[in-house]
Structure 1
Amino acid sequence: MTKTFRMDEAQPRLLDETGQGIIGAPLDRPEGPKKVSGRAAYAADGMPDNAAHGVLVRATIPRGRITGIDTASVAETPGLLGVFHGPRFIRNPAQGMAGEAPVQPGDEVHYHGQPIALVVAESFEAARDAAQRLVVSYDADANVDTDPAKTDALEKGDPETAGDFEAAFSKADVTLDRAYSTPPHAAAAMEPHAALAEWEGETLTLRGAQQMLKTNRLELADAVGIDPENVRILSPYIGGGFGSKLGIGPEAVSAALAARELRRPVRVVMARQTVFDAVLRRTETTQRLRLGADRSGRLLALSHDDRVTNLQDEGFAEPVSQASQFLYGAEGLSFAQTLARVSRTPSGSVRAPGEAVGMLALEQAMDELAEMLGMCPVELRLKNLPEKNPMTGQPFSATRLADCLRDGAERFGWKDRKPVGTRRDGEWYVGMGMASAARSNMLIESAARVRLSAEGAVVETDMTDIGTGTYAILGQIAAEMLGLPVEKVEVRLGDTRFPAAAGSGGSFGASSAGSATFLAAKAIRETLAERMGCEPSDLTLQNGMARGGNREVPLSELIDAELVEEASVEAGDTSESHFSSGFGAHFAEVAVHAYTGEVRVRRMLGVMAMGRILNEKTARSQALGGMIWGVGSALTEEMAHDPRTGHMVTRDLANYHVPAHADVPGDMTVVFLEERDDMANPIQTKGIGELGISGAGAAILNAVRNACGARIYDMPATPDRVIAAMDAAGY
């Protein structure tokens, strides 16, 4: 029986009293040796002997209809098993055998690169060859919108406001009105999207690269037309996701349908170019920031409007102004969004949706306002920190942003920052920049089961690990709560037969699944206390020993065979009464070449307050990863489309430039300030990974301005744009 807990009030800090010293410790990931030795089984690994290979075929027009697929064009391919398309499947075109198994329902093409068919063969090489040679005919739409700047298909949302922005802006002594743009971004996870599907009667087992198994199971069941109880998804190891693997994808659905028809396992692995073409991207944005302040630097007005894109009928819209709505206070606030419909790869969640691109604009605007006021950028931010969420009136559950700003400035040597364009190192301009960091925090319904025996403990949940350290932290929580060495705890993840958790996404996974694990272990502690004859608050479990009620006994003596508890957690009243967010401050030093415009990041510092830290090593890795993503957003990453056809130009990691080792500074530091958020969840934690990216790129771009005078309004800051901005600024 599952014990359900609602987060309705502030929670006691039990993990501060257990005394094991395991929580927060920088422990290694238990699965690390498997990963570095190649023994960790990812979705495409461990292919059964009788499995077939599938390769997706993609559309070559931006919009229109498929008028024909000439399966005879590949009929002579050695080992060809079939071509799935539209409403029918030809097992072997030469034999003329057909069956029902849609892969892409209907005949409509919505974007260039859309998966429209699946070729299956005995070997990957044969399937790839046939997929490339398959002849497809189209009736292309001549009036397609592929250019976001020119489309008339606009949906304007109602502004979200607090106070009277126009009145406040009109009375401001100093005003700023700036436009910014960011290009589309790719998640580009190291592991390509892959799926291996196998049927046993009416039961489907999918080994896939999926982030959120609870919902993925429902999606896959719906796609293939079976009961969710007959679907099992296994995702024990995932090589990165960043939002791209949140939902079920064409590789999983097509593999499942083909496997059912062929009555044998089918594996579909996307090539890197297919990943770029067919997997959700981050939208391009245009943004308008309007800030108004009095001469003392007090913000009177703040408006952040944006325009984003997506495919027709897609429901997602990048929440660009998400952080702008609570980071700073003002008398008048206004936020409006326009959604442009274009025939491009659909847009969706990519790491830190909203803040990652919105704060690139907001924090540059704040830096420019500080310059106009003749104020220190740190002091301007400190002056405008609100005591409560300006839009909702909710008090913050815990915030140490002011401490992050002050601590970071002291550690980074901010007092030594020079005026714009005055610090040189040979042919390089050198400058410093900073930005605030913010990422709203969430608690998502999650469940976990904990088993305790004389041999140790086992944690079971369908929670996933996309490289973030879930195996480590859930083991640490259980070990801390049950008084066991962490080596005595086994963590089992990524199986839909386990209790359903939040999954990895939105920086809510660790807090949500961790809280469920904590609550299940807490229920076991209550049973142990009863057997010890003491109150749970008087029970101490350490190093395999139980103490309480004037007794001390080995933990194993309190367990007959196995104690099992399952618990779930969900948001409650505290999510309405208080606003929870992680906060931080980023500082960067860059060098800009005076003649080429090349930008080199010399050092970065992130000071963050993100609730209880469960594992200092994995948390630091997450924060550093986010900061590196900030380097890419500021300087290199730019997904490009051909506006004439809508096809993607930067379709692999040779042309889409993520930061390489040489782009990342060796001096990269993360500092965590001690914090507990009693209103957030039972373990007082907050999300980590996405806070690291939020604001990091803006700190770099503000450092570019301080170094050489260049303000970059159209990102990324490639050398040509930096040179042009330097010329415009007279440097």
Structure 2
Amino acid sequence: MTTIGQPLDRVDGDVKTTGAAKFAAEHFYPGLTHAVLVHATISRGRITALHTDEASAVPGVVAVLTHLNAPSLKPAPKPRLLNLAMWLSGTFVNYLQSDEVHWEGQPIAVVVAETSAAAREAAALVRAEYTVTKAVVDFEGSEKDARPQPNNPIFPRGAKKGDAEAALKAAPVALDLRYTTPPQNHNALELHATTANWDGDRLTVHDATQSIDWFRTHLATRFGVPMTNVRVLAPFVGGAFGGKFAIWPGTILAALAARATSRPVRLVLSREAVYRTVGGRTPSIQRLALGADRDGKLTSLIHTSVTRDGRTGGLSEQVTSSSQHLYAAENILARHDLATLDLLPNTFMRAPGEAIGTFALESAIDELAYELGMDPIELRMRNETAVDPVDGKRKFSHRRLPELYALGAERFGWHERNPEPRSTRDGRWLVGTGVATAFHPVLTLPANVTVRLSADGGVLVRCAFHEMGMGGATVQAQITADALGVPFDTVRVEYGDSDLPLGPTAGGSPQTASVAASVTRACEELKQTLKSIARKTGGGSNEEILRRAKVPHVEAVVGSETRLGRIAGRARFLPPFLLGNQRWVKASSGVQFCEVKVDAETGETRVSRWVGVFDIGRVINAKTAASQMRGGIVMGLGLAMAEETLVDPRTGRIMNPSLSEYHVPVHADIPPIEVSFLDDPDPTAPLGILGAGEVGVTGVGAAVANAVYHATGKRVRDLPITLDKLL
């Protein structure tokens, strides 16, 4: 009986399409109130006065909380390797605990009212006075002040092999190029929302989070209660993509307001409030320099980046990660620098680092191919590597790029094109094709599970993993069904609740493999238990064995939920994780083929065709995996052609905080997208699974830019590719 690999429908499809699924803002408690944030209008300084009388007088207002009357809140601890939950602080600001303002948009008050309308009306009446401190908010103007990124095992600051600068100068063919990408903001369909309720010192939170267990630990720390007193529920999340990985002010302040008022509180951020209190993707300034001989062999590869963080936190992005792994250059220099600004800190956004880093790398490879008069695929294949290019020792656990390029080129019809730029027309449209490599590292995280087999034949899997639209419950049911040899529809999966066994965070594409490792282990233990029972009572089906033994069910448990058990789990996880990184380079990969049409007179650009071929190890569900890839490609098209957060370089204020002015792709922008997989298991990964969540967005920006060049003869090195850059 085999369900793995089959394109089965999602088990949560019915409840989502009928509206029965309850999201974070749809849970009701008696006495429920509504909260709205009030935002600072300066980038740095102190509050000298807060006028709240008019707001308090609005009918229905329960409380106006400020730093003058809010309950105390513990500051966020500094992150440590053995306390990963503290990495969840979107910022290190202790909200409503002081008069200090750290960024434009920082919450300085929370209005709680009987209705959301009253809360919004009152919030608009809160007025603040400030003393202003000089703030640094202009990213491009801060490039000269960037400092080396701090080094850590998760986000290394770079790499070096040989003397790449000297090799660049000596190279027969050399390019030294500058690429830029703008800041971008999260726009998940479901707004960030929290419903919080205190029962004595026990807190229940319904939240749109992609990191349930770390959320619970973080909230317990901030509010000074035992972890077991906090319950986080997130069975349905309407899109996340990294924006719901960290804890942002809305979650903390909803729980704080509920404690202050002794009433349940629902806080739903407006779209503008998401921009002003939830981090997005950092902008980048990248240098990509390539040196090669006349045959296309790379002698030098230099990739440096400047990104930003905030004075109150922020994410170090591995922009040069792909450049350290994709090409066998004789000399390599990779470096990450950070500029610290008085802005809301940046955060994870689908394939952080790799999404924008591959734009520069794969665009430059295309430019070098034209400089050499060589096919871009041929150039890549001449620099293919079997070991990590930097250390020359670590092998790739799974690397099938030649097969991916061969398959993709055939399906796209790559070799039928005229390689000359601006050589192909379709009426008024200039037609161009481009290609780029997709690459994203993978990892696994600890996961606790229980699997219960009942005498009626039903199977229950329990784990606090996440369902954000990718089909997580469906694939784990498929894995369980195959592992136990039972029908798929007899398996039920519980997830999305911190009262369940610890699940991995859904960030970095680890969830399917991490949970699968524990599920298959639990299923093996169950089968051994059944064999032991059968030896005493006789063989037969699972149900017959349990009925004869008069046992209602058998259960296998992987992992421990005790405090010491969790610490032991982390201690067991870290050494293999770090040692594995020293032995293997593990990554999902793919190839993106793009066709564009550009209006020769207006510069209007349309992506007309897309083919993506991917190696994500074993494919558990062909339908959900293909959907993941298409979603990543669509998000990549937004990165390439539309998305740009406009920050006022004088005030730090975001000038386009809405979907009317911040543009994302719509249906009319998306071409037919053909997706295929090698479906080749990685022998070093659980069930051969790598990861599907993020690799789909990588390489997309470069594939579009390369196709635009082929169509028009004009290089665009600054995203997004808008028509004004082509005129």
**In structure 2, distance between residues paired with 1:554 and 1:631:** 50
Deviations 1:649-708 (A, max 9, x none): 12011111110000000x21001002111212x211011121101101211110111111
Aligned residue for 1:522?
524
Matches for 1:650-729 after TM superposition, within 5 Å: 650-665=656-671, 667-680=672-685, 682-723=686-727
Cα contact 2:248–2:277 (8 A) shared by 1: no
Letter in 1 for 2:413: G
Cα contact 2:196–2:264 (8 A) shared by 1: yes
Aligned residue for 2:416?
416
2:484 to 469, 478, 482: 482
Aligned residue for 2:39?
58
Aligned residue for 2:593?
587
Deviations 1:576-627 (A, max 9, x none): 3211111110101110000111110111000001101111111000000011
Aligned residue for 1:3?
none
Structure 2 gaps of 5+ residues are 72-93, 150-156, 560-568
Cα contact 2:180–2:284 (8 A) shared by 1: yes
Aligned residue for 1:183?
182
Aligned residue for 2:428?
427
Cα contact 2:70–2:97 (8 A) shared by 1: no
Aligned residue for 1:449?
450
**In structure 2, distance between residues paired with 1:172 and 1:24:** 47
Aligned residue for 2:546?
558
**1:485 Cα deviation (Å)?**
1.5
Cα contact 2:178–2:717 (8 A) shared by 1: yes
Deviations 1:56-115 (A, max 9, x none): 11111111111121121312110111011115239xxxxxxxxxxx84331211111112
Letter in 2 for 1:484: V
The alignment partner of 2:98 has SS state of coil
Aligned residue for 2:637?
631
**In structure 1, distance between residues paired with 2:398 and 2:530:** 33
Aligned residue for 2:107?
115
Cα contact 2:51–2:126 (8 A) shared by 1: yes
Cα contact 2:158–2:320 (8 A) shared by 1: no
**1:459 Cα deviation (Å)?**
1.0
Cα contact 1:103–1:117 (8 A) shared by 2: no
**1:556 Cα deviation (Å)?**
4.3
Aligned residue for 2:473?
471
**1:315 Cα deviation (Å)?**
4.9
Q: More displaced, 145-154 or 245-254?
A: 145-154
Aligned residue for 2:398?
398
**In structure 2, distance between residues paired with 1:318 and 1:74:** 41
2:97 to 105, 110, 121: 105
**In structure 2, distance between residues paired with 1:379 and 1:589:** 19
The alignment partner of 1:246 has SS state of coil
Cα distance change, pair 466–62 in 1 and its aligned pair in 2 (3 A): same
Aligned residue for 1:618?
624
* 1:150 counterpart = 2:141: yes
Cα contact 1:103–1:257 (8 A) shared by 2: no
Cα contact 2:210–2:466 (8 A) shared by 1: yes
**1:333 Cα deviation (Å)?**
0.5
The alignment partner of 2:185 has SS state of coil
Cα contact 1:481–1:521 (8 A) shared by 2: yes
Matches for 1:12-161 after TM superposition, within 5 Å: 20-89=1-70, 103-141=95-133, 143-151=134-142, 153-157=145-149, 160-161=159-160
Letter in 1 for 2:541: V
**In structure 2, distance between residues paired with 1:587 and 1:216:** 39
* 1:304 counterpart = 2:303: yes
Deviations 1:464-519 (A, max 9, x none): 11111111111111111112222111111111111111121111111112222222
How many positions carry a matched residue from both structures?
A: 676
1:648 to 643, 654, 660: 654
Letter in 2 for 1:649: M
Cα distance change, pair 556–470 in 1 and its aligned pair in 2 (3 A): farther
Cα contact 2:533–2:545 (8 A) shared by 1: no
Aligned residue for 1:171?
170
Letter in 1 for 2:492: E
**1:717 Cα deviation (Å)?**
0.6
**1:533 Cα deviation (Å)?**
4.5
The alignment partner of 2:688 has SS state of coil
**In structure 1, distance between residues paired with 2:224 and 2:127:** 29
Aligned residue for 1:9?
none
Cα contact 2:630–2:696 (8 A) shared by 1: yes
**In structure 1, distance between residues paired with 2:367 and 2:661:** 32
Identity of matched residues, %: 40
Q: More displaced, 517-526 or 328-337?
A: 517-526
**In structure 2, distance between residues paired with 1:553 and 1:243:** 44
**1:631 Cα deviation (Å)?**
1.0
**1:277 Cα deviation (Å)?**
1.3
**1:331 Cα deviation (Å)?**
1.0
**In structure 2, distance between residues paired with 1:409 and 1:41:** 44
**In structure 2, distance between residues paired with 1:204 and 1:128:** 25
* 1:197 counterpart = 2:201: no
Cα contact 2:193–2:266 (8 A) shared by 1: yes
**In structure 2, distance between residues paired with 1:220 and 1:319:** 28
Q: More displaced, 127-136 or 563-572?
A: 563-572
Letter in 1 for 2:422: G
The alignment partner of 1:130 has SS state of helix
Letter in 1 for 2:440: R
Deviations 1:227-253 (A, max 9, x none): 212111011000011101112222221
Aligned residue for 1:351?
350
Matches for 1:2-17 after TM superposition, within 5 Å: none
Aligned residue for 2:77?
none
**In structure 2, distance between residues paired with 1:255 and 1:246:** 17
Structure 1 gaps of 5+ residues are 1-19, 91-101, 535-545, 724-731
**In structure 2, distance between residues paired with 1:697 and 1:21:** 38
Aligned residue for 1:543?
none
Deviations 1:529-554 (A, max 9, x none): 333459xxxxxxxxxxx9xx9x5435
**In structure 1, distance between residues paired with 2:95 and 2:650:** 28
* 1:513 counterpart = 2:515: yes
Letter in 2 for 1:169: L
- TM-score, scaled relative to structure 1: 0.90
Aligned residue for 1:729?
none
Q: More displaced, 106-115 or 81-90?
A: 81-90
Deviations 1:408-440 (A, max 9, x none): 011110111111101011111001100011100
Letter in 2 for 1:561: P
Q: More displaced, 42-51 or 228-237?
A: 42-51
The alignment partner of 2:70 has SS state of strand
The alignment partner of 2:459 has SS state of strand
**1:159 Cα deviation (Å)?**
5.4
Letter in 2 for 1:235: A
Q: More displaced, 41-50 or 612-621?
A: 41-50
Letter in 1 for 2:518: A
1:606 to 602, 607, 612: 612
Aligned residue for 1:368?
367
Letter in 1 for 2:160: T
**1:372 Cα deviation (Å)?**
0.4
Cα contact 2:56–2:64 (8 A) shared by 1: no
- TM-score, scaled relative to structure 2: 0.91
* 1:383 counterpart = 2:382: yes
Cα distance change, pair 533–702 in 1 and its aligned pair in 2 (3 A): farther
**In structure 2, distance between residues paired with 1:315 and 1:715:** 22
**In structure 2, distance between residues paired with 1:266 and 1:552:** 54
